[in-house]
Each structure stands twice: as C-alpha cells, then as structure tokens.
Structure 1
Amino acid sequence: MERKLPIEAKRFKKVREELKYTQHSFAELLEIGSTTADIERGKTKITGKVVTKLLSQFGINPLWLFGESFTQYLEINQANVNPKVITVDSNDQETILLVNQKAAAGYPHNIQDVEYYDSLPAFNIPLPQYRNATYRGFQVEGDSMMPSIRPNEWVLGKAVSNINEANDSLIYIIVLHDSVLVKKLQKIANNPSKVRLISLNPDYLPIDVEVKNIQELWQVNSKLSFNIDEPSETTLFKQLQQSMEELKGQIKSLKD
C-alpha cells in the first residue's frame, strides 16, 4: 500500500519549485544537508529551524505549511531590503563589491553566503559621495535601460534599507529570488504589496513584482562606462561650421 505523503512535504516542495531552487541549492540555503529529497518524500520531518528560515526569508506561513491555514505568505518585514552581507577591508572600512553578469546569475541564491562574497572583487572610492553608506556595483545585461545605461556598463548602487524609501523617479538595482534587474521602480498606489519595474527602452513592458520577493534594493547613483563614442559625422560637421564662423568673425574684426 502506497504511503500517503504529508501535506507539509507537498507544500515544502511547492515552495521550492515556486522559488525556482533545485533540491540541492534549497538544501544549502536552509542548511539541511545536500538535498531536500527526503523532506519532499516525507521521509524526514521539517524541523523548527527550517520552518523559521522559510518564514524569515520568504514569509512562508507555518500554519499554511502544515495545512492549518489557506494563507501561504505572511507580511513579515516585507519592507526590509537591507544588504544581507557587508564586506570590509583590513582597516575595517566598507568595500564596494563588483558583481559581473556571470556572478549576478548566482547572486540571489548566494545572497547570505559569506564565502560567495569572498570570490567577488572589492575596492574603495575615496570620494565623499561614497562615504557613510554601503555601495555595490553590478554589470548591466541587455538593452532594457537604453539609452541611459548600455549593455555591459556597470552601475553603482547605494543600499536602501526599506522599500518605503524608494523614489518613483530613480533607477534601482532590484535583487529578486531568481534574478538581478536594473529598472525604474514605481509604487502602485492601490496595491502596496507590489511595485512596478519599468524599463527606459520602450520595447520592454513593465513588470509587477511582489514586494516580499525583493531581497535587496540598491539606488543607482553612478555608472562606470568604458566605451567612449567617437563624435559622429554630424557633430564634427557642426564643430567645423562653428569654427569657420568664429574664424570669419575674427577676420572681419581685423578688416574693420
């Protein structure tokens, strides 16, 4: 006779699949060994530590997990989008980490793994604009923020501690559970549980995301660009015209 699967095992698997974690990566995140297979098969009970982590990190309602509630998510610290890990140098000064496109693919899943951050390059900028705050750099992928931000450029973001601090007119780095996006953020007046992410490139449609799915938020305040365009022919022509007019003026003044 086939053994009936406990509801908490079914719902645990549902959570993992919704968050798009593998059994291995979810087990690492929850610190419960190498895989979640035994939990999902009902062979291993879900511990209180796991229940606490699911609640604190993803807002999973413990009562829902065990079949005692229809509400899957609780709004626990949903506005807290502080950096999960801060790095410092040998002088105990905060450093700016750089997350390139390849590293960004794993960033959401390693967001609390201190060892992961050790693999990222770090530096300091000795300018007053970068003092008394936490900054992080991300390399932009794709053209959704053209023309302001081009593919492969780097943006530097200042940490935002609370979603309520976000300003609709600014660009942010939004770290979700499965991706890192660079977008304008717009609050939705009639639905505070969601925000709208807007691209500058009109070819891309806005995206609505749940606030509880935002792990970190960084306000973009500068960018690093390594491709300086040559002046276009039109620009050169205008510059030549301007120079010629100035030269004509000078010659005329000499004649007068």
Structure 2
Amino acid sequence: MLLAKNLKFLRTTKGITQSELAENLGVQRTMISAYEDGRSEPKLTALAKISEIFMVSIDELLHHDIQEKGRKVLQQKPLKVLTIAVDKEDNEHISMVGQKASAGYLNGFADPEYMEQLPQFRLPHLATNQSYRAFEIAGDSMLPLVPGTLIIGSYIEQLSAIKSGKTYVLVTITEGVVYKRVFNYLQENGKLFLVSDNEHYKPYEIKGEDVMEVWEAKAFISTDFPNPKDKNTPVTNEDLSKMILDLKAEIVKMKGSRN
C-alpha cells in the first residue's frame, strides 16, 4: 500500500523513530510498525496528524508514491503569515535585510519586534497591493550586480508561482538567504534549481520544503552602474534558452549518476 510505503519513507527521511512518531500520535510503537507493514491503517484523526507532521496532504499520502515520484507541488497554501512593518498611518514600509542581518533574519522573520528593528524605507512607483522587502546581496555570483546591491523583492505566497528563468530571493533552511535565477521543477521532483548569472558558479538544487520565503526581484539599488560591455551583462532570451537546455542536460546527468 502507498500509505505504508510513504509513511516509512517520510519517517526515515526526517530521522524520526517509530517511538517518537507513536508519541506524537498518542499510540503504541507497535501500531506505527503495523502502519508501515500495511497490517493496519491509521484512523482519520491520526492520518490528519501524520499529514501535519510531514507537511503533506492526505491525498498525497494515500495516492502518490513519494519515494519514486518525489513530492507533488508543495505549499499550495501561503508559505506563512507574512510579518510586515507599518508606520503610524498603517502604511507598509520596505524592511531592509543587510548582509550582516541575514543570519538573524532566518530566526527573526516571523517576529514583529525583530522586523521593527530593521531599517525601513519606502519607494515610489511600486504596486501598492504587494508586500516588498530589500535584501543586500553578497558575493559575485549574480554579476553584473555587485556585492552590496539591494534587491527589492515582492512577496510570493506559493512556490508554484515561481516562474522558471526569473530571479528571486529565497530564504531557506539549508542555504540561508540567497539571490539566484530559479528554475521550477517542483512538479517533477519537488525541487528548485538555482542558477547564478556568473558562469563560474555551478547550479545546484534545493528541496521545495526547505524554502521559507520567496521574493520575486522587482528592482535593485546600487552605487555601481553595470557596464554594458562587461562579459557578465544580464542574460538575454537566447542566453536563457541555452541555460534551460544546459540545465536539463545537467538534470539528466544527475539522475543517471544516481541510478
């Protein structure tokens, strides 16, 4: 049964013992063993709790082979309730997350007090029906944007809204705060591929479940003007098409090395 297979796979992947899961569900450890062997099925209340613990839908648990096919599109509901800073007139401000503040942001992005301590500013001509945040980038992986550039991003509520080839700031459990060109393969394997505009940096993948926030790049603020003659000028549509083909080839290569 898919439920038994999925439960065992999710539990072992998360590093949870049968005893720990049993304690969370309020059942005996032997019952978890029976679930995973297919000798018994959890009641609806226990099934709902399992769905919550592993952040999967009940439908996915029952009808989708997670181990073989990967996760379905994740986070169809909002990633989380966004914490924002407003002024006395209830006007929303843009909070700035500097390079030094990025590590603390991973722990404080949901804390209103922490958000109020970040520098705040406003910009004209931005759509008023969206929430924005500014992130200071480090390193040279996204040339011609230099270290210290502020990326202004609009909040994305669902991972499925990520459009392949566009640039985003991702707040992640594994990589911290990163600014990359993103390719959406959630439907295929539950992962995103992150690509640098600087060809010296190799693309890498990240699990959708490890993403806590997504901000689509809308503008940038920099004291350095990009040089149009620089070999690292922004990618063109032709460059983007080649990048997608190269990326697909890399995916096939990665899959082949795992088999």
| Same fold, judged at TM 0.5 (above) | yes
Kept after mapping to 1: 8 A contact 2:25/2:49: no
Q: Measure the CA separation in 1 of the matches of 2:15 and 2:104.
A: 21
Aligned pair partner of 1:213 in 205, 210, 214: 210
Q: Measure the CA separation in 2 of the matches of 1:225 and 1:163.
A: 28
Aligned pair partner of 1:141 in 113, 138, 143: 138
1:154 alignment counterpart: 150
Superposed, 1:119-134 pairs within 5 Å as 119-125=117-123, 127-134=124-131
Aligned pair partner of 2:171 in 170, 175, 179: 175
C-alpha displacement of 1:203: 1.0
- Based on CA coordinates, which of the two structures has the bigger radius of gyration? 1
C-alpha displacement of 1:54: 11
Q: Are 1:188 and 2:193 matched, yes or no? A: no
Identity %: 28
1:198-244 deviation line (CA, Å, top 9, x unaligned)? 11011111111111111110000110002358999xxxxxxxxxxxx
Structure 2: give runs of 5+ residues left out of the alignment.
Answer: 1-11, 27-47, 58-65, 230-259
Change (3 A) 1:47 1:124: farther
Structure 1: give runs of 5+ residues left out of the alignment.
Answer: 1-10, 16-41, 62-70, 233-256
1:48-88 deviation line (CA, Å, top 9, x unaligned)? 9xxx9997697389xxxxxxxxx899979624335631221
Normalised to the residue count of structure 1, the TM-score between the two structures is 0.59
Kept after mapping to 1: 8 A contact 2:74/2:208: no
Q: Measure the CA separation in 1 of the matches of 2:206 and 2:150.
A: 24
Kept after mapping to 1: 8 A contact 2:138/2:148: yes
RMSD over equivalenced CA pairs, Å: 4.0
Q: Measure the CA separation in 1 of the matches of 2:105 and 2:50.
A: 19
Q: Measure the CA separation in 1 of the matches of 2:79 and 2:196.
A: 21
Q: Measure the CA separation in 1 of the matches of 2:134 and 2:142.
A: 16
User: What is the letter of the counterpart of residue 102 of structure 2?
Assistant: A
Change (3 A) 1:144 1:56: farther
Kept after mapping to 2: 8 A contact 1:154/1:223: yes
Superposed, 1:35-184 pairs within 5 Å as 59=55, 78-79=75-76, 80-81=78-79, 84-125=82-123, 127-147=124-144, 149-178=145-174, 179-184=176-181
Normalised to the residue count of structure 2, the TM-score between the two structures is 0.59
C-alpha displacement of 1:177: 1.6
